[in-house]
């Protein structure tokens, strides 16, 4: 990518982000019956800003940092796709100037995450300006930026538990980031978080797969029993079982045998003869 294209994208961000708040206010004023034109205007502004962010992230130009930080600092809501795109771009560029504003945004996610999970199971849900994908991009960017000081908030977000609900994608992003940031100051907390998420059936299979991989990379001996339970008792699916077996090998030095996954009702349909 040429510097000229990156400069054009940075200039476009400065122009577009000034238009977005007004477009959102106009759409909000039409809350009862929003017009197609107002809805499309917000959508197109957000989409164009996201495209500019991706261009700047790909450019890795230091001149891209200031307009991207402007988006991070000025974003009105934490569920904004523009905030997610700006965080992703800053993570790709790798400028340490992004650590403080992204860490601050991550801290703002924590109370909203609990409200979001509560609203998800409420009979009368209310809008909460939180999006798990956006939070995940912030966490991933902080991992790329080597923001060791953000590990605590990453794990707090991943372990958020409200009304039995979990943030599975945030947990995946937090595990991937924190494993790369483990050091003497945070290793114990990371180990405990990985072990807890590995053993918690409320998380989905993607989380259990990633936690098994994390336990293997960390050589987490305390996770051996939980990994063996996944492999020999739970037997949820081949992907998770293979990840658990790989982790056990990393911890013990010995590759365990892998049984067949447990057959559950609904995994197959038996056709009657003649059908």
Residue 7 lies in a domain: yes
Q: Check if the beta carbon of residue 271 is closer than 8 Å to that of residue 251.
A: no
Residue 35, number of CB atoms within 10 A of its CB: 11
Q: Taking 90 as the threshold, does the pLDDT of residue 77 lie above it?
A: no
Q: Are residues 2 and 35 located together in one domain of the fold?
A: yes
Residue 84 reports pLDDT greater than 80: yes
The yes-or-no verdict on residue 257 having pLDDT over 60 is yes
Regarding whether 87 and 21 lie in a shared domain, the answer is: yes
Residue-wise DSSP of 27-79: HHHT-SS--HHHHHHHHHHHHHHHHHHHHHHHHT-GGGHHHHHHHHHH-S-BT
In sequence order, what are the residues at sequence separation of 6 or more whose Cβ sits closer than 8 angstroms to the Cβ of residue 201?
A: none
Domain boundary among 181, 215, 244: 181
Residue 165 lies in a domain: yes
With respect to residue 72, please indicate whether it lies within any of the assigned structural domains. yes
User: Is residue 54 a part of any domain in this protein?
Assistant: yes
Query: Do residues 14 and 44 both lie within one domain?
Result: yes
Task: Let me know whether 70 and 114 are in one domain.
Answer: no
| Higher pLDDT pick, 156 / 14 | 156
Distances (CA, A) of 107 to 4, 113, 124, 125: 35, 10, 27, 23
Q: What does the pLDDT look like over 157-183, one tens digit per residue? A: 999 999 889 999 999 999 999 999 999
Residue 265 lies in a domain: no
* Res 166: pLDDT: 95
Q: Is residue 107 domain-shared with residue 69, that is, in the same domain? A: no
Number of domains the chain contains: 3
pLDDT over threshold 90, residue 62: no
The reply to whether 214 falls in a domain is yes
Asked if residue 104 and residue 86 are part of one domain, the reply reads no
Q: Are residues 143 and 225 in the same domain?
A: no
Q: At residue 271, does pLDDT exceed 60?
A: no
Tell me, what's the pLDDT at 152? 97
* Confidence at residue 30, expressed as pLDDT on a 0 to 100 scale: 86
Q: Which residue range is the domain that position 37 belongs to?
A: 1-93
pLDDT (average), residues 214-242: 96
pTM over cut 0.85: yes
**Does residue 167 share a domain with residue 114?**
yes
> Considering the domain boundaries, does residue 189 fall inside one?
no
Residue 221 has pLDDT above 50, yes or no: yes
Alpha-carbon torsion angle 183, 186, 188, 189, nearest 10: -140
136: in domain? yes
pLDDT at 275 over 50: no
User: Which pLDDT belongs to residue 53?
Assistant: 95
pLDDT at 134 over 90: yes
Whether residue 89 is found in the same domain as residue 112: no
Do 86 and 59 belong to one domain? yes
Residues 239, 209 contacting (CB under 8 angstroms): yes
**pLDDT at res. 259:** 95
Per-residue pLDDT averaged across 36-59, rounded? 93
How much is the mean pLDDT over the chain? Answer: 92
| Shared-domain flag, residues 83 and 100 | no
pLDDT (average), residues 237-257? 97
């Amino acid at each position: 990518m040429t510097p000229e294209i990156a400069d054009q994208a940075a200039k476009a961000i400065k122009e577009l982000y000034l238009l977005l708040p007004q477009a959102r206010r106009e759409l909000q004023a039409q809350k009862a019956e929003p017009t197609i034109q107002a809805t499309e205007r917000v959508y197109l502004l957000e989409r164009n800003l996201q495209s500019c962010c991706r261009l700047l992230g790909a450019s890795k130009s230091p001149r891209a940092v200031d307009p991207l930080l402007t988006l991070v600092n000025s974003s009105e809501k934490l569920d904004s796709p523009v905030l997610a795109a700006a965080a992703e771009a800053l993570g790709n560029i790798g400028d340490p100037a992004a650590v403080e504003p992204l860490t601050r945004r991550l801290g703002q996610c924590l109370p909203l995450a609990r409200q979001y999970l509560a609203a998800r199971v409420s009979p009368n849900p209310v809008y909460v300006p939180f999006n798990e994908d956006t939070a995940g991009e912030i966490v991933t960017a902080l991992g790329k930026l080597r923001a060791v000081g953000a590990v605590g908030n990453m794990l707090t977000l991943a372990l958020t538990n409200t009304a039995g609900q979990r943030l599975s994608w945030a947990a995946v992003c937090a595990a991937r980031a924190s494993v790369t940031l483990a050091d003497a100051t945070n290793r114990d907390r990371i180990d405990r978080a990985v072990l807890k998420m590995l053993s918690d059936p409320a998380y989905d299979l993607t989380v259990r797969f990633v936690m098994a991989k994390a336990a293997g990379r960390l050589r987490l001996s305390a996770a051996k029993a939980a990994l063996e339970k996944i492999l020999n008792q739970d037997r949820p699916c081949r992907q998770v079982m293979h990840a658990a077996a790989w982790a056990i090998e990393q911890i013990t030095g010995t590759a365990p045998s892998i049984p067949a996954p447990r057959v559950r009702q609904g995994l197959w349909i038996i056709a009657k003869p003649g059908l």
